[in-house]
């Protein structure tokens, strides 16, 4: 069905010129970590500028990402490599985001369900399971008018609330091949894709319907009682429909979006059973193809929430006797492969995925201009993160946000939330990393901001209200306190709010006593601000 377009004469004059902004969310999550903080952040020094939000929340430091490319330097870091340089003005690299519970290996914490963990903090697994933010967005009918799940390939980190009210791991298109994903999205019952990938003249089933619509529009345009403004609107729409009708006869299209240039023949014929076996070192075309398919699905508005996850072990295991986890990840300073320490090797693997999937995705999203004059990338948030930072560390959780959600966020910055005045954090820094700032293997872990505030930032920027994601049943331990057990500044908080659990209320996994958790963790943060998005640099910067 194609309705008559909205005519300006039907609107209140104050609404003229307004256009709808469609926002989208993409999560890209990799396993393991980035090896060393210097491989993710453009600098371990604090950025040069200071911003005080003025509401009692602590000040942040920030600096333009482009300012780091000087003196012959051609990339931000080993992971965030030069393939991202075209997008520096549309990105934010966030530093100092910490979880307040020991996760180590987890299946849901990056998207907000810290309950789905391996039990290093045995109190965490007893917490209430929560839907992850991708599922929150997909189930919100304002954000996702279609009733569908996130487009989820290989992501076992997404958790959904079922009809019975229980939360469980969401189903994904587990390691499906690109050609099968393509057909599942664009051709479930429609026009067949040519086996050779070339264009073909096919009579699309919608072509005759569009002819009838054009004829009806023409009758209205030729009517005597239509205004000149509305006549121009209808003429413009008729031009678009006419172009669409012509394209239906010569290319493969769906919902008015062309996808005939995505050639899936190589994936169809390469003999690889599914995407788990793809090694980006030699099969980068497959990841590029996934990126193109995701961008086409966004342009066609088939999905508005997208998940993509990859595993960096398997093909990348170069240890002669240990598996990838024990031989590379847990030995960051050992030299096993390519004459470089493992922490650099870990970063180089993550950099391959940046080049082979993330950068092509951004290029495709930034190549389509939408009705509000901004690109799909500008109207979206692409969220790139990893399971850990360094080995099993929950400090400096990697967080790269690309896109401004239609102008809701300022972009182009390295933003540092660490609070260096409190000194290094005494908690676990990762295998063979030191807590001593004077040690060459210093782990660079500091107090900062709660990682979940980045998730609240995403949800709010994409248009959700607190009532859409807050759960009043959780975090009551931190609410309405009068005993100063978490510091006097955390007394009398009437509403914690925000998204997700602050953390467990008891120690576990070798972190020490409750006094460690209360005195060295919770009392160093101000939970009056847990419900708020993270402070971002002012727009004038």
Q: What is the pLDDT of residues 454-487, one digit of tens each?
A: 999 999 999 999 999 999 999 999 999 999 989 9
3-state percent helix, strand, coil for the chain, nearest multiple of 5:
30, 15, 55
**Cβ-count burial of 242 within 10 angstroms (0-12 exposed, 13-18 middle, 19+ buried)?**
middle
pLDDT at 203 exceeding the cut of 90: no
Q: Please give the pLDDT value at position 507.
A: 55
Confidence tier at 514 by pLDDT (50, 70, 90): low
Per-residue model confidence (pLDDT) at position 426: 83
Distance of alpha carbon 222 from alpha carbon 189, whole angstroms: 37
Task: Locate 308 and state its tokens.
Answer: 């993509």
Q: SS3 for 207-231, per residue?
A: HHHHHHHHHHHHHHHCCCCCCHHHH
Classify residue 188 by burial, with Cβ atoms within 10 Å: 0-12, 13-18, 19+.
Answer: exposed
- Give the list of residues 6+ apart from residue 393 with CB closer than 8 angstroms, or none: 33, 428, 429, 430, 433, 443, 445
pLDDT of amino acid 212: 64
Between 229 and 280, the more confident residue is 280
Residue 77 pLDDT level (bands cut at 50, 70, 90) = very high
Q: How many CB atoms lie within 10 A of CB 45?
A: 10
How does residue 151 score in pLDDT terms, banded at 50, 70 and 90?
Answer: very high
Is pLDDT above 70 for 539? Answer: yes
Q: Count Cβ neighbours within 10 Å for each residue of 406-445 and write b for 16 or more, e otherwise.
A: bebbbbbbbbbbbbeeeebbebbbbeebebeeeeeebbbb
Question: Given this model, what pLDDT does residue 505 score?
Answer: 76
- Is the pLDDT at 186 greater than 90? The verdict is no
Decide which of 478 and 251 is more confident. 478
> Does residue 111 have a pLDDT over 80?
yes
In percent, the amount of the chain with pLDDT more than 70 equals 82
CB atoms within 10 A of CB 518: 16
Going from the C-alpha of 52 to that of each of 44, 49, 201, 330, 456, the distances in angstroms are: 21, 10, 60, 39, 20
Predicted TM-score (pTM) of this structure: 0.85
Chain segment 332-364, per-residue pLDDT in tens: 999 999 999 999 999 999 999 999 999 999 999
Please give the structure tokens belonging to residue 160: 């959904």
CA distance 69 to 256: 41
Tokens 């101000």 identify what position?
Answer: 526
Percent of the residues in the chain that have a pLDDT greater than 90, as a whole number = 59
Please compute, for residue 405, the number of CA atoms within 13 A of its CA located in the half-sphere on the CB side.
19
DSSP 146: S
Interatomic CA distance for residues 39 and 50, integer angstroms: 24
pLDDT band at 100 (very low <50, low <70, confident <90, very high): confident
């Amino acid at each position: 069905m194609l309705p008559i377009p909205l005519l300006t004469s039907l609107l209140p004059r104050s609404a003229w010129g307004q256009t709808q902004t469609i926002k989208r969310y993409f999560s890209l999550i990799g396993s393991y970590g980035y090896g060393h903080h210097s491989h993710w952040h453009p600098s371990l020094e604090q950025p040069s500028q200071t911003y005080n939000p003025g509401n009692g929340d602590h000040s942040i430091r920030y600096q333009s990402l482009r300012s780091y490319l000087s003196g012959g330097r051609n990339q931000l870091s080993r992971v965030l490599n030069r393939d991202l340089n075209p997008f520096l003005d549309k990105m934010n690299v966030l530093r100092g985001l910490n979880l307040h519970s020991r996760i180590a290996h987890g299946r849901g914490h990056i998207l907000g369900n810290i309950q789905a963990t391996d039990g290093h903090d045995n109190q965490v697994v007893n917490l209430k399971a929560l839907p992850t933010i991708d599922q929150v967005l997909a189930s919100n009918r304002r954000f996702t008018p279609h009733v569908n799940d996130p487009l989820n390939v290989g992501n076992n980190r997404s958790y959904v609330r079922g009809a019975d009210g229980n939360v469980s791991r969401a189903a994904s298109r587990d390691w499906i091949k690109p050609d099968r994903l393509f057909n599942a999205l664009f051709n479930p019952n429609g026009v067949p894709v040519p086996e050779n990938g070339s264009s073909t003249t096919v009579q699309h089933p919608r072509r005759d319907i569009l002819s009838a619509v054009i004829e009806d529009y023409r009758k209205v345009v030729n009517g005597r009682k239509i205004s000149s403004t509305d006549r121009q609107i209808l003429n413009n729409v008729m031009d678009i429909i006419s172009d669409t009708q012509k394209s239906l006869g010569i290319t493969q299209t769906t919902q008015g979006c062309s996808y005939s240039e995505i050639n899936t023949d190589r994936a169809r014929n390469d003999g690889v059973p599914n995407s788990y076996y793809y090694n980006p070192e030699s099969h980068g075309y497959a990841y590029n193809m996934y990126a193109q398919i995701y961008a086409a699905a966004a342009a066609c508005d088939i999905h508005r929430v997208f998940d993509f996850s990859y595993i960096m072990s398997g093909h990348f295991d170069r240890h002669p006797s240990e598996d990838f986890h024990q031989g590379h990840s847990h030995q960051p300073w050992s030299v096993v492969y390519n004459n470089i320490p493992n922490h650099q090797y870990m970063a180089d693997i993550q950099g391959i995925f940046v080049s082979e999937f993330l950068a092509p995705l951004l290029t495709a999203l930034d190549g389509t201009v939408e009705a509000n004059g901004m690109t799909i990338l500008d109207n979206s948030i692409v969220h790139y993160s990893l399971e850990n930072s360094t080995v099993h560390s929950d400090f400096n959780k990697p967080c790269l946000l690309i896109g401004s959600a239609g102008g809701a966020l300022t972009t182009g910055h390295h933003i540092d939330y660490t609070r260096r005045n409190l000194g290094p954090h005494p908690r676990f820094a990762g295998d063979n990393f030191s807590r001593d700032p004077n040690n060459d293997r210093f782990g660079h872990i500091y107090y900062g901001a709660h990682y979940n505030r980045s998730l609240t930032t995403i949800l709010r920027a994409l248009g959700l209200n607190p009532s859409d994601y807050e759960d009043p049943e959780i975090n009551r331990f931190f609410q309405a306190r009068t005993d100063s057990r978490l510091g006097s500044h955390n007394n009398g908080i009437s509403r914690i709010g925000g998204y997700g659990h602050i953390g467990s209320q008891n120690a576990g996994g070798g972190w020490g006593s409750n006094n460690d958790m209360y005195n060295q963790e919770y009392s160093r943060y101000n939970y009056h601000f847990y419900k708020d998005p993270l402070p971002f640099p002012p727009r004038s910067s």
